[in-house]
């Protein structure tokens, strides 16, 4: 098995160009997205063996996505194409600097994932299982699948990494809370954004949030603090500052890039601080290019950035 295994829904992504919004745009640029495959691609680019398991429709989008993820060096041997349902679709538009997403993913191939689709030995052979809260938002059988995967990991001593990735277009915060908080209880690394914690715990108070997080077994890594990421471990809160970025082009995918960098650090045996620093660095790169995963850096680029060397292309 790869060192890090993840699974979830990857979808075709169409981006409306020209900042005119979907109602008036004349072109849609095709790509794809999916929080978990973004993380798997990020890890592969950093030189780590990652596996993404999913279900796609046996249709042109499904083929395109599978080839692209496999082409990035991610193991897709446990991913299936099915003719029973189509590949999900999301469309993104940008109007007056505000980006919004429209999902066409109800009854998609991935929404029919169920625990029987999991390969227990494949998960058991990994070091880390990474899941996100998007998968259980897709359907009741996807809740069962995410839960079953976590239980397999725990039975086999595989560490569980969990990014709640709250998507309020998929479910209400009340529904999400009921499913995500029990999953957080089972995680070793809990990777929420501060805004997500505000919603999940219904509070803006950092003290209250800290108290709630300390009830978990996990180390909590809180993204989106005051220009920093927080680490909450053994009652101690540490903040790791963000890297400076010249211009934010597209912030989508930053969280997934962060997770890829953080998990790469964990696999390499880095300290929590160093792992978060690597996560911050990957996130800072992703937001400087369009697309959810395209801007994920490769290992050599990271070394160059850390060494502070310039880059000349000619
Ligand atoms: O984190 C980025 C993802 O949200 C994006 O790639 C698409 O998985 C996705 C979703 O459900 O929105």
Enclosing domain of residue 48: 4-9+35-58+114-298
CA-nearest of 170, 173, 220, 199 to 9 is: 170
Report the length, in residues, of the chain: 314
Closest ligand 1 atom to Cα of 101: 12
Closest ligand 1 atom to Cα of 34: 8
Predicted pLDDT at 32: 98
Tokens at residue 173, please? 């915060």
Total domain count, the chain? 1
Look at residue 67 and tell me if it is in a domain: no
Q: Is the CB of 33 under 6 A from ligand 1?
A: yes
Predicted pLDDT at 132: 98
Q: Which residue of 38, 92, 286 sits with most ligand 1 atoms within 8 Å of its CB, as the best mutation to test the pocket?
A: 38
Look at residue 72 and tell me if it is in a domain: no
Predicted pLDDT at 314: 59
- Catalytic positions: 256
Look at residue 52 and tell me if it is in a domain: yes
> Would the ipTM clear 0.85, i.e. be above it?
yes
The DSSP code sequence of the chain is --SEEEE---EEEEEE-TTB-TTT-S-EEEEEE-HHHHHHHHHHHTT--EEEE-EEESSHHHHHHHHHHHHTT-B-TT-EEESSSPPPEEEEEEETTEEEEEEE-TT-TGGG--GGG--HHHHHT-SEEEEETTGGGT-HHHHHHHHHHHHHHHHTT-EEEEE----TTTS-HHHHHHHHHHHHHT-SEE--BHHHHHHHTT---HHHHHHHHTTSSSEEEEBSSSSEEEEEETTEEEEEEPPP-S--S--TTHHHHHHHHHHHHHHTT--HHHHHHHHHHHHHHHTTSSSSSTTPPPHHHHHHHHTT------
Look at residue 171 and tell me if it is in a domain: yes
Q: Is the CB of 36 under 6 A from ligand 1?
A: no
Predicted pLDDT at 225: 86
Give 51's strand partners. 5, 75
Look at residue 173 and tell me if it is in a domain: yes
Give 238's strand partners. 231
Predicted pLDDT at 311: 56
List the CATH number of the domain containing 199.
3.40.1190.20
**What is the distance between the alpha carbons of residues 144 and 10, in angstroms, rounded to a whole number?**
18
What value, to the nearest 5°, has the Cα angle with vertex 272 and ends 270 and 276?
Answer: 95
Look at residue 96 and tell me if it is in a domain: no
**Mean pLDDT of successive 10-residue segments in the chain (314 residues)?**
98 90 93 98 98 98 98 98 98 88 97 98 98 98 98 98 98 98 98 98 96 97 94 96 90 95 98 97 93 94 82 57
Predicted pLDDT at 313: 57
Q: Is the CB of 161 under 6 A from ligand 1?
A: no
Predicted pLDDT at 250: 83
Look at residue 254 and tell me if it is in a domain: yes
Predicted pLDDT at 229: 97
Look at residue 108 and tell me if it is in a domain: no
Beta-carbon contacts of 14 under 8 Å, excluding residues fewer than 6 positions away, are 28, 29, 30, 31, 89, 90, 91, 92
Closest ligand 1 atom to Cα of 170: 11
């Amino acid at each position: 098995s790869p060192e890090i295994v993840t699974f979830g829904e990857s979808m075709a992504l169409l981006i409306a160009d020209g900042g005119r919004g979907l109602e008036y745009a004349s072109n849609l640029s095709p790509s794809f997205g999916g929080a978990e495959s973004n993380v798997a691609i990020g890890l592969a680019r950093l030189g780590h063996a990652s596996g993404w398991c999913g279900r796609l429709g046996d249709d042109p989008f499904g083929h395109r996505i599978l080839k692209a993820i496999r082409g990035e060096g991610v193991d897709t041997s446990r991913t299936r194409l099915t003719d029973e349902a189509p590949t999900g679709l999301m469309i993104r538009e940008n109007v007056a600097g505000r980006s919004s997403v429209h999902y066409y993913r109800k009854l998609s191939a991935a929404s029919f994932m169920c625990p029987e689709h999991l390969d227990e030995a494949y998960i058991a052979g990994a070091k880390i299982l990474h899941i996100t809260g998007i998968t259980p938002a897709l359907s009741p059988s996807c809740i069962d699948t995410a839960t079953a995967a976590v239980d397999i990991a725990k039975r086999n001593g595989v560490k569980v990494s969990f990014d709640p990735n709250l998507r309020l277009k998929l479910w209400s915060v009340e529904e999400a809370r009921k499913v995500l908080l029990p999953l957080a209880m089972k995680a070793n690394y809990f990777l929420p954004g501060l805004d997500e914690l505000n919603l999940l715990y219904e509070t803006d108070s950092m003290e209250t949030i800290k108290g709630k997080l300390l009830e978990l077994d996990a180390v909590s890594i809180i993204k989106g603090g005051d220009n920093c990421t927080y680490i909450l471990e053994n009652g101690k809160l540490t903040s790791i500052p963000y890297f400076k970025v010249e211009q934010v082009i597209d912030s989508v995918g930053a969280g997934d890039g962060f997770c890829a960098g953080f998990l790469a650090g964990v696999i390499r045996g880095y300290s929590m601080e160093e792992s978060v620093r690597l996560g911050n660095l990957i996130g800072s790169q992703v937001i400087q290019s369009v697309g959810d995963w395209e801007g994920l850096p490769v290992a050599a680029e990271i070394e160059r950035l850390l060494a502070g060397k310039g880059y000349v292309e000619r």
